[in-house]
Amino acid sequence: MTQLVLHNYDLDDACYRVRLVASCCDLPVELRNVDMFPGMEQVSPPYLKLNPLGRLPILETADVTLRHTGAILLYLAGLDPQKRLLPTEASALAQMMDWLFFAEHDLSVSTEARAISIMDLPGDGPQTIAQTRALLRIMEDHMSAQEIKGLSFFAGEEITLADIALFPAFALSRDCNIDHDAFPALRLWARRVRATPGFVVMPGIPDYH
Amino acid sequence: MSETGWVPIALSRFIAPGTSAGTAVHGAEIVVWRDTGGKAHAWEDRCPHRGMKMSFGFVRGDHIACLYHGWEYDETGTCRYIPAHPDLEVPPSICVTRYAVTEAGGMIWTALPLGDMPEVEPNAPEMDGLRSLYIDAPLDAVLAGVKTVASEVSQTGALITATLGETPLTLGLQTVDADHSALHITLPSDTPTATRLSLLDQFATLRRNVESPLKEAAQ
């Protein structure tokens, strides 16, 4: 199989999503650790050549260079012979994509809120935290409805890429002072995500075992 | 007037065996957790070691462990194990404060004032938990909102019964703090799925209607 190289920063939640999908799909990935903070190595000339957007994660293979988390996740899930994180049915697939876009686009504010809180980066802390909380509430409302329908995950009965893409924003929310008290449905869902074979943690997400 | 007696702090089905969650009543932080045997507990949400919230920790059998240093407490709130000193017989004076706890009507309850142990159990009819709705508003505003959409609204202590559409509901009222409330929504177990989903929507609308005037006033 083609060699997968992930340009990675351990504390970055987008890089964590990639590591998590790779682990759940049993795909070996070679990590190249990047000094994102405080070194800002992702905007150094060699990295800007790889990704002019100046961001991580970047996934490199002999054939492709991918620099959007969603695209990387889709690629990895597609490489998995068992396709365990990809629904085949059209509606479930579309729902997965809907939440994947939510995670990549809307929820990017949670990454910003967390970076402001823990790395003291510039930005509007209170505003980004309030936006993150409002988005987590949308997720809580959805999972409350899913539970009533007897569905355990965001896009249906089975775990998909959507759940993995959404998980870090909830699991790390305490880093920007958003507690889990008001999200009972997300607490139960996060427990199911944790129980997925191959699940791994990152700094800030405790391993209970 | 300060509230006394039983108050609901969670829906039973959302505190799975082997899990913990944080909540607050009138600003006092509480950890509600369920041991793997299924018994619920409500304690002060504070590890006596370094003050870490116990709700950040994890449940192991009938113990709950603190996330910081793994100190484990048994169901009486007494510290039993300190991982950094595995051979130490832990002094029995290291304890987390326990509060009254019981389950009735699909909800987990504690009693006010915290530490009070009422002799009589809360009187709540057998119901299914729908969801706990957390609202950024004082409880008075939430109650006023409920009265605008439901009929036959009647309150006894921290419980209200009300009818929404055709469905008889029992709502548990929790004052989280002066500006935050929780409604623990329960309904009869034979309520059809479509009705449950419609009620979810109606309560989400209620939350929006209760919160938006407060948000506008704050701006």
Specify whether the backbone of A125 is left (phi greater than 0), alpha (psi in -120 to 50) or beta: alpha
Q: What is the CATH code of the structural domain delimited by B5-112?
A: 2.102.10.10
Of B14, B24, B200, the CB nearest to A184: B14
Q: Are the Cβ atoms of B14 and A188 closer than 8 angstroms?
A: yes
Size of interface A-B (CB pairs under 8 A): 45
Q: Are A183 and A144 contained in the same domain?
A: yes
Of B22, B58, B67, the CB nearest to A181: B22
Average pLDDT across chain B, whole number? 95
Which CATH number is B128-218's, of 3.30.930.10, 3.30.565.10, 3.30.530.20, 3.30.310.50?
A: 3.30.530.20
User: Residue B43: which H helix or E strand, with range?
Assistant: strand B40-44
How do strand A30-33 and strand A5-8 relate by DSSP bridges?
Answer: parallel
Q: Are the Cβ atoms of A191 and B131 closer than 8 angstroms?
A: no
Q: Are the Cβ atoms of A180 and B132 closer than 8 angstroms?
A: no
| Chain B residues close to A184, C-beta within 8 Å | 10-11, 14, 21, 131-132
- At A1, the pLDDT band (50, 70, 90 cuts) reads low
Q: Is residue A199, in this structure, part of any structural domain at all?
A: no
Do residues B169 and B163 lie in contact, with contact meaning Cβ atoms separated by under 8 Å?
yes
CA separation (Å) from B152 to A154, B49, B93, B186?
36, 49, 50, 16
Of A184, A187, A206, the CB nearest to B67: A206
d(CA B4, CA B186): 22
Identity of residue A1: M
Q: Are A154 and A100 contained in the same domain?
A: yes
Concatenated DSSP letters for chain A?
Answer: ----EEEE-TT-HHHHHHHHHHHHTT---EEEE---TTT-GGGSHHHHHH-TT--S-EEE-SS-EE-SHHHHHHHHHHH-TT-TT---SHHHHHHHHHHHHIIIIITHHHHHHHHHHHH--SS-HHHHHHHHHHHHHHHHHHHHHHHHTT--BTTBSS--HHHHHHHHHHHTGGGGT--STT-HHHHHHHHHHHTSTT----TTS----
Q: Are A189 and A107 contained in the same domain?
A: yes
Tens-place pLDDT, residues A56-77: 999 999 999 999 999 999 999 9
B134-173 CB burial, b ≥16 within 10 A, e <16: bbbbbbebbbebbeeebeebeeebbbbbbebeebebbbbb
Q: Are A99 and A68 contained in the same domain?
A: no
Q: Is residue A165, in this structure, part of any structural domain at all?
A: yes
Tens-place pLDDT, residues A114-161: 999 988 888 889 999 999 999 999 999 999 999 999 999 999 999 999
Domain that holds residue A173: 90-194
Q: Are the Cβ atoms of B200 and A145 closer than 8 angstroms?
A: yes
| Chain B residues close to A191, C-beta within 8 Å | 16, 19
Measure in Å the smallest separation between the Cα of B21 and chain A Cα atoms: 6
Q: For residue A116, give the CATH number of its domain.
A: 1.20.1050.10
Identity of residue B128: D
Q: Are A71 and A19 contained in the same domain?
A: yes
Per-residue pLDDT for A209 more than 60? no
Measure in Å the smallest separation between the Cα of B152 and chain A Cα atoms: 26
- Please tell me whether residue B218 adopts helix, strand or coil conformation: helix
Residue ranges, CATH 2.102.10.10, chain B: 5-112
Do residues B162 and B153 lie in contact, with contact meaning Cβ atoms separated by under 8 Å?
yes
- The distance between the two most distant Cα atoms of chain B, rounded to a whole number of Å, is 61
Measure in Å the smallest separation between the Cα of A208 and chain B Cα atoms: 7
Which one of A133, A142, A148 makes the best mutation probe of the B interface by having the most chain B beta carbons within 10 Å?
A: A148
Per-residue pLDDT for A109 more than 60? yes
For residues B86-110, average pLDDT:
95
Residue of A nearest to B11 (CA): A184
Q: How many CB atoms lie within 10 A of CB A2?
A: 8
- At B218, the pLDDT band (50, 70, 90 cuts) reads confident
Q: Are A171 and A100 contained in the same domain?
A: yes
Do residues A183 and A140 lie in contact, with contact meaning Cβ atoms separated by under 8 Å?
yes
B132 touching chain A per CB within 8 A: yes
Q: Are A60 and A127 contained in the same domain?
A: no
Measure in Å the smallest separation between the Cα of A27 and chain B Cα atoms: 30
Provide the number of structural domains found in chain A: 2
d(CA B108, CA B93): 28
CA B30 to mean position of chain CA atoms: 8
Q: Are A94 and A33 contained in the same domain?
A: no
Tens-place pLDDT, residues B146-199: 999 999 999 999 999 999 999 999 999 999 999 999 999 999 999 999 999 999
Considering only CA atoms, which of B142, B63, B158, B155 is closest in space to residue B109?
B158
Per-residue pLDDT for B1 more than 60? no
Strand partners, A31: A6
Domain edge (last residue) among A22, A51, A79: A79
Quick one: DSSP state of residue B172?
Answer: E
- What percent of chain B has a predicted confidence (pLDDT) above 70? 100
Residue of A nearest to B64 (CA): A208
B contact residues 168-187, partner A, Cβ 8 Å cutoff: 176, 182
Alpha-helical segments (H) within B109-190 = 139-149
d(CA A139, CA B143): 25
Q: Is residue A153, in this structure, part of any structural domain at all?
A: yes
A207 touching chain B per CB within 8 A: no
Q: For residue A58, give the CATH number of its domain.
A: 3.40.30.10
Q: Are A121 and A188 contained in the same domain?
A: yes
Per-residue tokens: A47? 């990295």
B28 touching chain A per CB within 8 A: no
Q: Are A22 and A94 contained in the same domain?
A: no
| Chain B residues close to A185, C-beta within 8 Å | 14, 131
Residue of A nearest to B202 (CA): A141
Q: Is residue A206, in this structure, part of any structural domain at all?
A: no
pLDDT value for A121: 84
| Interface predicted TM-score (ipTM) | 0.95
Q: Are the Cβ atoms of A187 and B193 closer than 8 angstroms?
A: no
Of B58, B134, B182, the CB nearest to A208: B58
- Please tell me whether residue B187 adopts helix, strand or coil conformation: strand
Considering only CA atoms, which of A150, A154, A151, A152 is closest in space to residue A169?
A154
B215 touching chain A per CB within 8 A: no
Residue ranges, CATH 3.30.530.20, chain B: 128-218
Strand partners, A24: none
